[in-house]
Amino acid sequence: METEIAQARRIPPKSRTRICCPHCGNDTDFFEIADGVVLTTRYLQNSDGSFIQESDESQVLGEIKFFCGECNQDLSEYHNHFLEMLF
C-alpha cells in the first residue's frame, strides 16, 4: 500500500503541469491581451514639480485572451490554468 501511495505522489496534479504551445513547443513565454481596459494611475507631485507614481489600478471590462509569446498562437483554452498558476 505504501508503494501505491508513493507512486501516486510522484504524478504531479494536473494543475502543476506546464503549459506548452501545441504549435511551436514554446513552454516559457506567454502574454495576455485584454479588451476594454481602464487603467488608473495615481501620482503625487513633489515640491520641485516632479511627479512620483503612487499606485496603479486596472479594470478589465472585456475579454482576456492568452497567447504564445513565440508564435503568437491563441492559447486562450489554457488561460484558466495560467490563472491558477499565477503567484
Count, in order, helices (H) and strands (E) of the chain. 2, 4
The pLDDT-based confidence of 1 (bands split at 50, 70, 90) is low
3-state secondary structure of 80: helix
In tens, the pLDDT along 17-42 reads: 899 999 999 999 999 999 999 999 99
3-state secondary structure of 14: helix
C-alpha count within 13 angstroms, C-beta hemisphere, residue 34: 10
pLDDT surpassing 50 at residue 45: yes
Per the CB < 8 A criterion, the answer to whether 33 and 67 are in contact is yes
Count of domains observed in the chain: 1
List the grid coordinates of 59: 479594470
Backbone phi, psi, residue 7, to 5°: -65, -40
Domain containing 29 equals: 2-84
